[in-house]
């Protein structure tokens, strides 16, 4: 299966729409978990060998989209800890693209989320979401000093033409100095 991860586009303001879901944007490394071939790879399709160990926690025969994170004691992501290999990485799933011998990418997000919930059970860390209203979630994200939220249309497939939006917390403290890290 040839996967082209959907890369969210920056949007400046939160919005409300009953056809959209809104979920936390976890601050980590984007990871496609392929338990069929035993590989974790990045949004740029690079094999993330050091994170293949995270596949052991996931059901076999599936392909998931999610975020590799290191969490503090309060359950908040710490990007620098992940980047500099301080702390134990974990994987938080937000989509399922393949399961039980079936390519799910053409299915609407609404159905993929329902299937993910069934597959995940209590074993997998899943991203929670709200439908229709993002203002309260975005307000809480900003108050808790988290990175932001992602908006996804419920009826969309997982395809290159699908648009997701990321709405970033403008005062997110972990963003400070990051630009310099990646310019080296």
Domains of the chain: 9-183 (3.30.470.30)
Write down the mean pLDDT value for the chain.
92
* The pLDDT of residue 175 is above 90: no
* pLDDT tens digit sequence for 43-60: 999 999 999 999 998 999
Q: Return the beta strands (E) in the chain as ranges.
A: 9-10, 17-25, 29-34, 39-41, 63-69, 90-99, 102-103, 125-126, 129-132, 148-153, 164-168
18 CB contacts (<8 Å, ≥6 apart)? 131, 132
Q: What's the pLDDT score for residue 47? A: 96
Do residues 33 and 64 touch, judged by C-beta distance below 8 A? Answer: yes
pLDDT at 107 over 60: yes
Q: What pLDDT digit, counting tens, does each position of 84-100 carry?
A: 999 999 999 999 999 98
Q: Is the pLDDT of residue 183 over 70?
A: no
């Amino acid at each position: 299966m040839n996967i082209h991860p959907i890369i969210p586009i920056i949007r400046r303001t939160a919005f409300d729409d009953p056809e959209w879901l809104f979920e936390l944007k976890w601050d980590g490394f984007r990871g496609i978990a392929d338990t069929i071939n035993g590989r974790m790879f990045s949004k740029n399709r690079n094999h993330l060998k050091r994170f293949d160990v995270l596949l052991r926690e996931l059901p076999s025969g599936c392909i998931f989209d999610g975020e590799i994170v290191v969490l503090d004691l309060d359950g908040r992501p710490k990007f620098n800890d992940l980047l500099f290999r301080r702390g134990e990485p974990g994987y938080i799933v937000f989509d399922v693209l393949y399961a039980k011998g079936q390519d799910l990418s053409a299915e609407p997000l609404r159905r993929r989320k329902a299937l993910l919930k069934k597959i995940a059970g209590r074993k997998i860390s899943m991203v929670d979401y709200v439908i229709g209203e993002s203002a309260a979630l975005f307000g809480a994200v900003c108050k808790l000093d988290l990175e932001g939220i992602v908006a996804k249309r419920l009826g969309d497939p997982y395809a290159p033409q699908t648009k997701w939006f990321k709405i970033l917390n403008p005062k997110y403290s972990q963003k400070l100095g990051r630009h310099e890290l990646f310019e080296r």
